[in-house]
Amino acid sequence: MIKMFQSGFAAMTRRKAVLPALAVLSVLSIASSVSAEAFSYYTTGVFQSSGTNSIQGVPPGSNLTFTGVGNPIGPVAVGPFLTDTSIHLGVFTLNDTNLGANNLDAYNLQNFTLNIFQVTPVPGGSPLGGTLAGQFNGVFTVTGSGSGSTVKLTLSGQVIAPGSVPGSTIVYQPFPNPETFTVASDGSQTSVEGFASAAPLPTSGLAGLALFGLVGAIKFRSRLFGMA
């Protein structure tokens, strides 16, 4: 009888050790299967009031123009598990010849849309010149007056585009989000930057399940053997 109890206890002890080990191996196996994404993209921008990438001051004498990423950038490599990769989104140029308050006031509360076009990967795996993945929304504000006026843009949003495998995604965002910056008024370019990250949802979800299994195994062991 004692031998039977000892044999049963030894078997349970082996199971106690095997369950957490299997969970850990599952996590390691899943993590090793996740690879970095590679993508290419370009951007355009539209002012709501003009319907184009440029608007004019009132009275004439200034203009504000957005130049997007005209030629596709990429492929850009981005790591798994939300590892951020810096991306360039375009530039603003503000030409103000008169430095007058009226010129810059025309830009106050202007709405702006920055479009993200993803070239690769896209659904079906065919570039087709890029697919509109989504948009960031911006609002301009003007502070000060006369030669002391400044034009600022607050840009926010998140674009989620398909990754290279079913269920995976590539996330584009301004950085920081929301991003507020001053547009230079001397004709120089003001750069707009952001970041992208890969989110392999199915794989990371499985990893979460494996971790859940690990916790469950430990709790099971605790209840079975009275361990804390």
The domain locations on the chain are 36-203
Average pLDDT, the chain: 75
pLDDT digits (tens, 9 = 90+) for 62-97: 899 999 998 777 778 776 555 678 999 999 999 887
Residue 57 CB burial class (10 angstroms; 0-12, 13-18, ≥19): buried
Q: In the structure encoding, which two tokens stand for residue 227, read together? A: 């361990």
Distance CA 101, CA 68 (A): 27
Residue-wise DSSP of 181-220: EEEPSEEEEEEEEEEEEEEEHHHHHHHHHHHHHHHHHHHH
Distance CA 86, CA 197 (A): 9
Q: Of 83, 87, 32, which Cα lies nearest the Cα of 206?
A: 32
pTM of the model: 0.71
Q: Of 123, 133, 180, which Cα lies nearest the Cα of 156?
A: 180
pLDDT tens for each residue of the chain, 228 residues long: 554 445 554 554 444 444 444 443 443 344 434 456 788 899 999 999 999 999 998 877 889 999 999 877 777 877 655 567 899 999 999 988 766 556 788 899 999 999 999 988 876 555 557 889 999 999 999 988 776 788 999 999 999 998 888 888 899 999 989 999 999 988 899 999 999 988 764 444 444 434 444 444 444 444 444 544
pLDDT digits (tens, 9 = 90+) for 5-29: 455 545 544 444 444 444 434 433 4
Distance CA 172, CA 194 (A): 7
Q: In what order do the strands lie in the sheet with 150-156?
A: 73-78, 37-47, 111-120, 131-143, 150-156, 179-183
Distance CA 214, CA 11 (A): 19
